[in-house]
Amino acid sequence: MYRYAMEKSAYVEMYHNEDRHWWFAARRRIIGKILSGFPGGGEKRKILEIGCGTGGNLRFLSTY
């Protein structure tokens, strides 16, 4: 059986780059435009973040 996992050093590097790297910044901008288009005004929405990463998007998503 094969087991695939990211190296710990890759997570550390991702954590340090999430706030400023163009890929993460552009992805947050795109996601923000999409989420802004949904009705709901000032209501807090329930958003499920599924994926690989360090959880850096949770702070951004908490504004929605």
Confirm whether 44 is domain-assigned.
Answer: yes
**Domain count of the fold of the chain:** 1
Length of the chain: 64
Confirm whether 45 is domain-assigned.
Answer: yes
pLDDT at 22: 93
As a whole number, mean pLDDT of residues 43-55 equals 79
Q: In the structure encoding, which two tokens stand for residue 58, read together?
A: 């949770």
Confirm whether 2 is domain-assigned.
Answer: no
pLDDT over 80 (residue 5): no
Of the ranges 4-8, 10-14, 58-62, which one carries the lowest mean pLDDT score?
Answer: 4-8
Q: The whole model's pTM is what? A: 0.68
Helix (H, G, I), strand (E, B) or coil at 32: helix
pLDDT at 4: 64
Reported as a single tens digit per residue, the pLDDT across 7-48 is 888 888 888 888 889 998 999 999 999 988 887 666 777 888
Which domain does 53 fall in, by range? Answer: 8-61
First to last CA, the chain: 40
